[in-house]
Amino acid sequence: MKNKRGWVPAAYLEPLDSPDESEEQEPNYAGELHITTKAFTGELEDELDVKEGETVEVIHKLLDGWWVVRRGSVTGYFPAMYLQKSGDTISEDRSQIKTKALPPRRGTISNANSIHKQKRKEISQESYRRNSKKYLKARQSTIEAMENMTIDEEKEEDQSKAQPAIPARPSKELILDRCTENTKLKIQTVT
């Protein structure tokens, strides 16, 4: 296999230099918007069924080619090859991927000759769901707090604006006292 080049799913590879393989980054429960380029029906219960063109939030990019995504409040595994970052245009390479077979899930591969003494850190689907719900609740409460703060600020602005004081209408005698003699004569001739 020397001098050969090509693509191999990361799930089939192990590093030769050390068993400390670089792991995926931590889950990002804020999510990154992606659009599905192909419909997918999950075979396992922790895989998400999604139609083509739906928007999902990627919360964990795993090295085996299966990412954890959230649609609404539902989380599950979804093949990364069927996802496109929101706002990107579909390239010709992406359209050819639709015909390729899916990579195997890391949990379905067992290697008796593995050089790893420790098992890889795995997060259960229940942990993803629980943490995702916590994040969604926190985001919702933050949004509500921001809306309440905006409403309170608007009320304070309304109250803080000085309303012009409207004086009481002066009496007829007061008006006549302040008028010039010429005006007083005109008023008396009219009445």
28-79 confidence digits (pLDDT tens): 888 889 999 989 888 888 888 889 999 999 988 887 788 889 988 888 888 8
Q: In the predicted model, what is the mean pLDDT of the chain? A: 76
Reply yes or no on whether the pLDDT at 107 is more than 70: no
* Domains, the chain, with CATH or none: 10-107+124-140 (2.30.30.40)
Reply yes or no on whether the pLDDT at 162 is more than 50: yes
3-state helix, strand, coil in the chain (%, to 5): 35, 15, 50
Q: What percent of the chain has pLDDT over 70?
A: 70
Q: Kindly report the pTM of this predicted structure.
A: 0.54
Strand order in the sheet with 66-71: 74-79, 66-71, 55-60, 32-36, 83-85
